[in-house]
Amino acid sequence: MKKIKQLLIFACLLLISLCMNAETCKKNYLTAQGNQLFDADGKEVFLRGVNWFGFETQMGYFHGIWARDHKSMLQQIKDLGFNCIRIPWNNAILTQDISGDINAYGTDPYSGVSPMNEIEATKTKSLEILDIAIQWCQENNMKVILDNHSREPDGYMTEELWYTEKVSHAKWIEDWIFITERYKEYDAVIAMDINNEPHGAYGGGSRWGTGDIKNDWRLAAQECGNAILEVNPDVLIMVEGTEEFEETSYWWGGNLQGARDYPVELTHPEKLVYSPHEYGPTVHMQDWFSSPDFPDNMPGIWEENFNYLHTLNTSPLFFGEFGIKDEGGQDEVWFDKFVAFMGEKGHHWTFWCWNPNSGDTGGLLDDQWQNVVDWKMDKLRPYLVSEIPNCQTSVVIPVDGISVNPDSTTLNVGQNTQITANISPSNASNKNVTWKSSNETVATVNSLGEITAVSIGNATISAITNDGDFTATSNITVTDAITYTLTNTTSGMGTVSHIPAGNTFTDGTIVSLTATAESGYTFKEWTGDVSSNENPTEVVMNTNKVINAVFTILSNGCTNPTSISLTYKQDGAGDYCWVTDEDISYVSSWNLDSLLINGTDFTNTWADEMPAKIDGNYYISYKASFAWSHVEIFGMTKSSTGMKTVTNNSTLSIFPNPSNGIFTVDGIVDANYIKVTSSKGELLYNANVAGMNTYKVNLEKFSTGIYFVTIRYNDDSYVTETIIIK
């Protein structure tokens, strides 16, 4: 009886503990009360974060993860003290594949993780990368605002309305329902910014309060917001302003004057947050920046356009975008005034932006995607606040499959290998697996999937999900116990194999030997125990049954190279092998799979330091998969200018080229703008050049590499030239 009482007491205590854990982990969504935001416990909180863009572009994932580890970037954002991140996205990511590869390579300079983006590199869909980001934010107490930035990739500049020919009004709402359903178990996803910067001037585009669903952004916001709240009644609905209201004009997304007489009415009004955008004169020289009383005129302008909603206790204000590019001048005066204004009022915000490749503002990171721009961070840091916790056990994502890599392999006795289990979906809650070997006398496996070959034979290695519902297998073949050593005296890779397993060798036995070089390499010379130099076929076993093979590889593997003269250029997909005895001054390439010069990697880079010649030659191997792949190999006589004649008979020249980052563009009569983009397509620089004959560009801050200069003329013709920064 005493034992039964003890068990009952233990059961009650366990039940109380479970209830307490459930209570401490209730989902921490936010709610508006007047002009304040409160968490699930009724504590006032403030959202202070950054924008990290990329999902709204053609690339379809965060920009910068070609240079940094995705999760390390998120960790750096959190470590700086930001408690939320605004993620722009376009509707095409719901169906599109990732544009361009994500490669697992290198060591992240911030976290030290190596290789970077190991999981991300296995994904092919944009949503899969977004899933990883959301899961990380859930686990690390980072709140997320999802911003529907455009319907088409990079379409935000031309899309005045919230719908297009491809994405109808109904499809726009349907896509929002899909996103809401996908992340409704994540209280990290705190808000939906349902359309970025609805705009249109002179009575066109998005309006506010017309009563016509074709152009009344207020009615569209209500309909979409309420549809989202039907799926997840806890998430915030963020509604941006328009460009114009009646006769007044302001920043895209910044004019909320219409909300005074035509407020957005949601089924859950406590979930409404108005979200204006605000920028300085670097983005556009507005009239108010030239006023004699600038910057003291700004608080009145802000009050008129949006801050009255705070003053009247109508709604919290979340500034989804504001940013600054350079120190000094009016822009910094405006920025300091605005940041202090937001701090005084207790407004919420996400700085534009994390990315250094924003053409309007630059970013919080430097151009190497590594270090923080200190003077910008110093202006934001005084207003940062504590994190807003997420529920760490509320999200349970079931496993729906498992695979292993590799699915088969051959080992010699005594060798080890690693088999990896991949659980799907990538954000499944329980990724633990159990490993088993069908024949441990042949091969054993430990709890980490590490295989050890024991004796000749075959075994099946199974990876079983924690719940036992899914199993994947890898077939292991173990061959004889003879080992070999292999020394590579030059660059390149190769393997040595011998006759099949199941044979016993005594001293002096002659064993067949096969040499195999990786694709793109050939063996040039053999030494050691091998009986022949050029084509080794057999070797005499030594007393330790070890095959010793020392070889040299022809460094780039051009077996039948085509002779070329410099300067030489190649575009498009293909697999080519060239040879030249001329001296190379520099090489520039982009969008290639591989470019090797005498075994040295020059893939997608600019460089003017060449390796030593081999037998007086450079052997060049080119591999590419895209029509837009390109390489330029220059001889010692460099071209000093880039010259091209366009349809309006203007002659364009860029000099010096290559340059140290400062160069002059000549022949721009009748041009209206100039822009500079990276080889990956990121906009890095733009300027209005109307009425000018020449224009000097300063890209000293940018790293060595290849860039594109585009000039657009008044007749809509344009020309793009390459500029090389060394």
Strand partners, 664: 655, 696
Cα–Cα dist 356/693, whole Å: 30
- Binning the chain into helix, strand and coil, the percentages to the nearest 5 are 20, 35, 50
Question: Which among 120, 160, 321, 721 is annotated as catalytic?
Answer: 321
The CA–CA distances, whole Å, from 215 to 199, 204, 349, 597 equal 10, 8, 27, 58
Is position 159 annotated as part of the catalytic site? no
DSSP 559-624: SSPEE--SSEEEESSEEEEEEE-SPEEEEEEES-SEEEETTEE-TT-EE--PPPPBTTBEEEEEEE
The separation between the first and the last C-alpha atoms of the chain, rounded to the nearest angstrom, is 86
If 0-12 CB within 10 Å is exposed, 13-18 middle and 19+ buried, where does residue 125 land?
A: middle
Cα–Cα dist 324/417, whole Å: 51
Quick one: which of 143, 123, 156, 125 has its CA closest to 192? 143
Q: In what order do the strands lie in the sheet with 84-90?
A: 272-274, 236-239, 189-193, 143-150, 84-90, 48-51, 348-351, 318-319
CB of 667 within 8 A of CB of 650? Answer: yes
- Encoding tokens for residue 707? 């860039």
Angle at Cα 39 formed by Cα 38 and Cα 42, nearest 5°?
A: 70
* Phi, psi of 242, deg, nearest 5: -105, 180
Query: 343-348 contacts: CB < 8 A, separation 24 or more?
Result: 343/382, 343/383, 345/307, 345/310, 345/317, 346/35, 346/36, 346/46, 347/310, 347/316, 347/317, 347/318, 347/319, 348/37, 348/46, 348/47, 348/48, 348/273, 348/316, 348/317, 348/318, 348/319
Cα–Cα dist 77/551, whole Å: 49
The residue assigned the tokens 């109307």 is 690
* Phi, psi of 51, deg, nearest 5: -90, 140
If 0-12 CB within 10 Å is exposed, 13-18 middle and 19+ buried, where does residue 393 land?
A: exposed
Other beta carbons less than 10 A from residue 251's beta carbon: 22
Runs of H (alpha helix) within 80-206:
126-139, 169-183
- Encoding tokens for residue 435? 């490993």
Is position 582 annotated as part of the catalytic site? no
Q: 3-state DSSP call for residue 695?
A: strand
Cα–Cα dist 434/471, whole Å: 9
DSSP state of 234: T
Quick one: which of 655, 604, 656, 642 has its CA closest to 626? 604
Helix (H) / strand (E) element for 332: namely: helix 329-345
Question: Which among 56, 120, 128, 197 is annotated as catalytic?
Answer: 197
- Encoding tokens for residue 264? 């957005």
The CA–CA distances, whole Å, from 420 to 104, 128, 218 equal 15, 19, 51
* Phi, psi of 570, deg, nearest 5: -140, 135
CB of 491 within 8 A of CB of 471? Answer: no
Q: Are strands 718-725 and 600-601 parallel, antiparallel or unpaired?
A: unpaired
Runs of H (alpha helix) within 140-206:
169-183
Angle at Cα 196 formed by Cα 27 and Cα 186, nearest 5°?
A: 15
Positions annotated as catalytic residues are: 197, 321
